[in-house]
Amino acid sequence: MGGTVSDLRQGEDFLRAALSELEAPSEEPITAAIWFPSIVPTPANDVQERVVLQVLAPFMLLEGIWLARVAQPATAHRLMEAKFFDIYCRMVGLSNQTQAPSLRYRAWLTICGLELPSLVDPGFFEDRRFPEFSLNLPLIHLCLMHRPRSFLPELLGYTLAHSAMDSNWWGTLRACRGEVWALERREFHREIQVLAMAALEASLPFADEATMRIRNGWNLYRQEFECLMRELNDWMRPIPTVSDVLSELVQMRRPYAIGYHRRVLLQGRSLDEWLRDSKQDPRPLLEALRASPYVNSQCPEASRLIRALEFGGPMFGVMNVEERELCLKWIEEPQKESDSASFFRQGMRTDRYGVEQSNRYSQSMRGNDEFQRGEGRTFSSLLPGKSMRSGRLSTSTFRRQLFTMLLGVESPADLPPAAIRTIEGVLLRSRWFSRLRPLDRRLRIYDPEIFHQFLDDLHRRETERYHPLKGTPRTDRNYCRWAILQLAPTILVDGCWLAGIATAAERLDRVRHTLLQIYADEIGSGDCEWNHPNVYRRLLDSLDIELPALVSREFAEDSRFLDASFDIPIYLLSMGWLSERYFPELLGLNLSIEMNGLGAGYMKMVDILSFHGIDPTIIRLHLSIDNLAVGHAARAAEAITVFLEEIRQQQGDAAMQAVWGRILVGYRSLNIAAIKLVLGLMIRV
């Protein structure tokens, strides 16, 4: 769904089908009123309560994922997206991970003794303990995540419905202490509902059609949630017997068991033959086994079947402890209701909307890894200007159009191939340059102490280089105004190199969590006033520099810009969408950007701008927030040291040094990408 064009199209088809199947939407206005699901889970016993938790796990562990990509370089400055991003940050516990509801849900699962795979595990969505119906709602989460702009009104309605759901229904899970969970969530829902309502208010200028689409999003969430509850209740009835569960297990293992049991005879036939005939129904096999000498119902532990599972037995390692227990229970009392929370009910898998869903989820979650590794196809055919690559356009025209195309990207699969070519070109030059003029001899081999010493020295040299302005600066006001204009394409997408980091809380490791914190600061952490591109917009306004809308073609075609003004943003936007593919380089690039904000150059600029009566807020902001003590530069360095240490522990020193080399190339790449613009700015002085 996200890895390739066809995946993305299937995801969209699924989402559109779900929207088209909605029951007639009610005309009630969407308000802040809380809604209570009309269907609640009705587990018959505490074991089934745990089953409810298990089935809801994909939905709960992916809570908020639909908002992960909503604050994009083209949209993050807007009020609605800012509110959405704020909700997302709370959902992943950006300021305090212990508050992330999905991580708390994981803890609840653990307390209840439910061990389920992590979202980091590529096999998560193939886990047979999640019936297909339990994946419908999470799939909608993921589809919305990949299309946050195409389905923005629906996303709003969906978020509103999520925030307005009464958490008290969790209280039905008494044995699992659901009341405690309900209470915990109540405050959380209240907080995100305020933000969701603020997003709704921001959407008021929308046309009537959008109002209907917001309502559709609202109904989609509610109806899908209730559908999940209904299917869950159906799925739990009747409670399977021990024999049912063992039948499911036999069916699962059957393909791997055939061929090993030629000598085991049951009623004159080999067990292999029995297994071959059990594809549809393994119950006759189980009955024959029961009647055989392999089962001792008087003393189950003494059964040959059980003994075969023990150390030294022919079936040792074939079943885990829980499955061995199941066999014992089956020998004792096959018709007893199963008390296993991990029952296997594969026969109940459903496929709604006629879209093949299997294996799609993990592709979406991997954040388009396949595409990012370059194995996937690109989305270029769906982008306007595919023919741009024909060669008829001049390079500069194409580069400007590429800027607009990159701002139109909603998901990495949309990326034009030129994005990868841009990155590869910059990195190649960076590699050559690094060989010709190494950054610092001390950095040839990575050592965390030397690395930090290098940063401290660099910082000290930069601050020492600074001398406060005395008298009239060499550059006049007109030049400053012109330079501010030339930097607009770069600063109006400030933070974009980290736009692809956001994901589910459980997939945000320490390094990505740190990067996400930087990204949040760059785009204002939910407050449009603090959004760096908006700070720059205010500066442009104060200088009466009027520009077309950033995403429009007119912006990129504006003849007041140098061609070189688009070099840095094209590179940064491309890196932002391919962050997994170029992760080490991105770490280096990020450090370089954040260290750049601390230089003597920035301090001099503050003096010059102040001299000419131009507001230097955007530069002061970076001098403070990027600080090397605890600010962005410190975090960028920390992300590198943590990442390298992880590589060292997992893959060894040689692998770590190889990754370090890539980080250094990424570090140099900012200067490489900026060469033409720097020259252009210098020539004009």
Q: How many residues bind Fe ion (CB under 5 A)?
A: 6
Q: How far is the CB of 625 from Fe ion (least distance, A)?
A: 6
**What separation in angstroms does the CA of 13 have from each of 3, 19, 62, 480?**
15, 10, 21, 50
- What value does the CA radius of gyration of the chain take, rounded to a whole number of Å? 29
Tell me, residue by residue from 569 to 608, as one string, x for binding to Fe ion by CB under 5 A and - for no binding: -------------------------x--------------
Q: How far is the CB of 588 from Fe ion (least distance, A)?
A: 15
Stretch touching Fe ion by CB under 5 A, among 205-213, 385-393, 508-516, 628-636: 628-636
Other Cβ atoms less than 10 A from the Cβ of 633: the count is 26
Q: How far is the CB of 7 from Fe ion (least distance, A)?
A: 33
Range 90-129, binding Fe ion (CB under 5 A): none
Quick check: 522 binds Fe ion (CB under 5 A)? yes
Residue 405: left if φ>0, alpha if ψ -120 to 50, beta else—which one? alpha
The tokens describing 424, both together, are: 């590869």
Local structure of residue 353 (DSSP, 8 states) = G
Q: How far is the CB of 492 from Fe ion (least distance, A)?
A: 11
Contacts of 329 (CB under 8 A, 6+ apart): 242, 336
The tokens describing 534, both together, are: 């908006």
- Between 64 and 524, name the residue whose CB sits nearer to Fe ion: 524
Range 130-189, binding Fe ion (CB under 5 A): none
Helix (H) or strand (E) holding 269, with range, is strand 269-270
Q: How many residues does the chain have?
A: 685
Q: How far is the CB of 541 from Fe ion (least distance, A)?
A: 18
Q: How far is the CB of 494 from Fe ion (least distance, A)?
A: 4
Kindly tell me which residue out of 106, 162, 513, 532 binds Fe ion, with binding defined by CB under 5 A: 532
- Between 89 and 504, name the residue whose CB sits nearer to Fe ion: 89
Q: How far is the CB of 522 from Fe ion (least distance, A)?
A: 5
Q: How far is the CB of 618 from Fe ion (least distance, A)?
A: 8
Stretch touching Fe ion by CB under 5 A, among 269-277, 429-437, 519-527, 575-583: 519-527
Quick check: 632 binds Fe ion (CB under 5 A)? yes
Q: How far is the CB of 567 from Fe ion (least distance, A)?
A: 18
Stretch touching Fe ion by CB under 5 A, among 104-112, 339-347, 508-516, 625-633: 625-633
CB-facing half-sphere around the CA of 180: CA atoms within 13 A: 8
**Among residues 276, 271, 283, which one has the least CA distance to residue 246?**
283
- Between 366 and 622, name the residue whose CB sits nearer to Fe ion: 622
- Between 134 and 490, name the residue whose CB sits nearer to Fe ion: 490
Contact assessment for residue 530 and residue 83, using Cβ atoms and an 8 Å cutoff: no
- Between 294 and 536, name the residue whose CB sits nearer to Fe ion: 536
Local structure of residue 356 (DSSP, 8 states) = -
Contact assessment for residue 61 and residue 506, using Cβ atoms and an 8 Å cutoff: yes
CA dihedral sign, ordered 487, 488, 494, 500: negative
CA angle 203–205–211, rounded 5-degree value: 65
Query: How far is it, in rounded angstroms, from Cα 157 to Cα 632?
Result: 35
- Between 216 and 592, name the residue whose CB sits nearer to Fe ion: 592
Contact assessment for residue 161 and residue 35, using Cβ atoms and an 8 Å cutoff: yes
- Between 446 and 519, name the residue whose CB sits nearer to Fe ion: 519
Burial class (CB in 10 A: 0-12, 13-18, 19+), 472: exposed
For the CA atoms of 211, 216, 221, 224, the dihedral, rounded to the nearest 10 degrees, stands at 170
- Between 369 and 522, name the residue whose CB sits nearer to Fe ion: 522
The tokens describing 397, both together, are: 């025209």
- Between 231 and 594, name the residue whose CB sits nearer to Fe ion: 594
Kindly tell me which residue out of 275, 361, 626, 637 binds Fe ion, with binding defined by CB under 5 A: 626
Q: How far is the CB of 21 from Fe ion (least distance, A)?
A: 44
Contact assessment for residue 300 and residue 328, using Cβ atoms and an 8 Å cutoff: yes
Contacts of 455 (CB under 8 A, 6+ apart): 595, 628, 633, 637
Residue 416: left if φ>0, alpha if ψ -120 to 50, beta else—which one? beta
Q: How far is the CB of 94 from Fe ion (least distance, A)?
A: 16
Query: How far is it, in rounded angstroms, from Cα 503 to Cα 520?
Result: 13
The tokens describing 250, both together, are: 């036999």
Stretch touching Fe ion by CB under 5 A, among 174-182, 238-246, 531-539, 638-646: 531-539
Quick check: 494 binds Fe ion (CB under 5 A)? yes
- Between 110 and 463, name the residue whose CB sits nearer to Fe ion: 463
Q: How far is the CB of 318 from Fe ion (least distance, A)?
A: 55
CB-facing half-sphere around the CA of 388: CA atoms within 13 A: 22
- Between 154 and 594, name the residue whose CB sits nearer to Fe ion: 594
Quick check: 537 binds Fe ion (CB under 5 A)? no
- Between 366 and 513, name the residue whose CB sits nearer to Fe ion: 513
Stretch touching Fe ion by CB under 5 A, among 184-192, 287-295, 452-460, 516-524: 516-524
Q: How far is the CB of 595 from Fe ion (least distance, A)?
A: 10
CA dihedral sign, ordered 330, 332, 333, 336: negative
Q: How far is the CB of 448 from Fe ion (least distance, A)?
A: 22
- Between 604 and 632, name the residue whose CB sits nearer to Fe ion: 632
Query: How far is it, in rounded angstroms, from Cα 568 to Cα 681?
Result: 14
Helix (H) or strand (E) holding 265, with range, is strand 265-266
- Between 47 and 623, name the residue whose CB sits nearer to Fe ion: 623
Q: How far is the CB of 85 from Fe ion (least distance, A)?
A: 15
- Between 196 and 587, name the residue whose CB sits nearer to Fe ion: 587
Contacts of 388 (CB under 8 A, 6+ apart): 398, 401, 402
Largest CA distance in the chain: 106
- Between 56 and 493, name the residue whose CB sits nearer to Fe ion: 493
Quick check: 7 binds Fe ion (CB under 5 A)? no
Stretch touching Fe ion by CB under 5 A, among 380-388, 391-399, 403-411, 489-497: 489-497
Q: How far is the CB of 523 from Fe ion (least distance, A)?
A: 9
CA dihedral sign, ordered 23, 27, 32, 35: negative
Query: How far is it, in rounded angstroms, from Cα 422 to Cα 571?
Result: 6
Stretch touching Fe ion by CB under 5 A, among 228-236, 322-330, 407-415, 530-538: 530-538
Range 49-68, binding Fe ion (CB under 5 A): none
Q: Which residues bind Fe ion (CB under 5 A)?
A: 494, 522, 532, 594, 626, 632
